[in-house]
Amino acid sequence: MKTVLNEQQLAITIKRLSHQILENHVDLADTVLIGLQPRGIFVSDKVVAEVKELLPGGNVPYGKLDITFYRDDVRKSLHLANHTDIPFSIENKNVVLIDDVLYTGRTIRAALDALLDFGRPAKVELCVLIDRRFSRQLPIQPDYVGKAIDSIISQKVKVFWKERDGKQEVALLEN
């Protein structure tokens, strides 16, 4: 196991991503943040908390999107659905999708399909903690990247969170 981001680096990376989102969406008046279930929620919760700190008293529209049944591999195995919670309209809004690891791009393609059930956004941007650059199967690129890494197919990126795993770091694992 090789550590890609330790706890301190992970915290700094989340702060930077939050600042970058606010650079492009100053007051979030026409912007909504949406975390992808299940693993993207951990990073999106932290980004949203940081954004709220940077905009005290400001409205930060935040939703959670389950893409389980929009995936093109859902028939291969039994999947348990997560909870979708988008308590606002995304019609003509700037949507920032937040996920932990961008790998093949299939999760994001499914998220784009699922998003259309909630309206037609003006623009969709992608914020990821880790970008596995050379493993894309679809032409999807992130707008905000915590860290880009080069990895081979036999490696797996694992994001550990204190709330779930008892430690906070990003690691590269050998299969």
Q: Beta-carbon neighbour count of residue 55 at 10 Å?
A: 15
Q: Which residue has the higher pLDDT, 6 or 59?
A: 6
Give, as one character, the DSSP assignment of residue 68. G
User: In this predicted model, what pLDDT tens digit does every residue of 63-113 receive, in sequence order?
Assistant: 999 998 777 765 555 555 577 899 999 999 999 999 999 999 999 999 999
User: In this predicted model, what pLDDT tens digit does every residue of 109-140 receive, in sequence order?
Assistant: 999 999 999 999 999 999 999 999 988 999 99
Three-state secondary structure string covering 84-134: CECCCCCCCCEEEEEEEEECCCHHHHHHHHHHHHHCCCCEEEEEEEEEEHH
Report yes or no: 141 and 128 within 8 Å, Cβ to Cβ. no
Domain 10-152 is of which CATH architecture? 3-Layer(aba) Sandwich (3.40)
Give the start-to-end residue ranges of the domains of the chain: 10-152
